[in-house]
Amino acid sequence: GAGVSQTPSNKVTEKGKYVELRCDPISGHTALYWYRQSLGQGPEFLIYFQGTGAADDSGLPNDRFFAVRPEGSVSTLKIQRTERGDSAVYLCASSLSSADTEAFFGQGTRLTVV
Amino acid sequence: KNEVEQSPQNLTAQEGEFITINCSYSVGISALHWLQQHPGGGIVSLFMLSSGKKKHGRLIATINIQEKHSSLHITASHPRDSAVYICAVRSYNTDKLIFGTGTRLQVFP
C-alpha cells in the first residue's frame, strides 16, 4: 500500500506479557517515529529513527520499551512485562527525511493490557 | 506548561459557522503541522507550515513565527468536519514532533 501500515490494529494482552507492534513506513522514507496516545491526550513522542539508528529515544518511558529498525524500513516496538498503564494507541509516522517534510501517520495499534 | 498549547479544548458549532482553532508554542521550530484525527481513526496531515498562510478547500492555516502562534480556520463548517484537530511542531533542535493535546470539534446540522 501507499501509506504507513501498522499491525496489528488491535492487541489485547495480559499484564506481564511481551508484545511487539509493527510499523511499515512509506517506501523510501528514512525518518520513522513512534508515538503513544492515551485517551483524551495528544500523541506523546517515544522514539525517532533516522535510517537504521535511533536518533532520539528520549521518550521511551522505561527499559521495558525498546524499538528496532534493522534494515531502515520496517520498525518493531517491543514492550516487555506489560502493565495496565501501557494501554494506549501506539502511532507510527514516517517522513522522507528528518527536515521540513510532511509526516504521514499510520492508523495506530490500540493496545489494551488486562 | 506544555510546549504546545491549543485553544479551545472543546468547540461546538452549528453547520455553516466559521471556526478558528489556535495554537501557541514556546520552542524554536522548523515547521508546524495541523493534523486531523477522527474517532477510532488514524491521523491525517492537513497542513505543514513554516511561514505565512496555506489554503486547502475550506481550510486555512496561518502562522506567525515572531509571535509563535498559528491558527486553523474552517469556513462554512459541516458535520463531517467533526474531529479532533491537533497542532504539532517540529523542534528545530531535536527534529521530533511535539504535539498539542488537540481541540475536539463537533459541528451540528
Q: Taking 70 as the threshold, does the pLDDT of residue A79 lie above it?
A: yes
C-alpha grid cell, residue A35: 508515538
Classify strands A109-113 and B19-25 as parallel, antiparallel or unpaired: unpaired
- Mean pLDDT value of segment B82-106: 88
For strands B10-14 and B103-108, give the pairing.
parallel
* Interchain CB distance below 8 Å, A91 and B48: no
pLDDT at B1 over 80: no
Peptide bond just before B79 cis, omega within 30 deg: no
- Do you find a cis peptide bond into B8, omega within 30 degrees of 0? yes
Tell me the average pLDDT across B19-29: 95
* Candidates A9, A34, A94, A98, partner chain B, best to mutate (most B CBs within 10 A): A98
Which of the four pLDDT bands, split at 50, 70 and 90, describes residue B43? confident
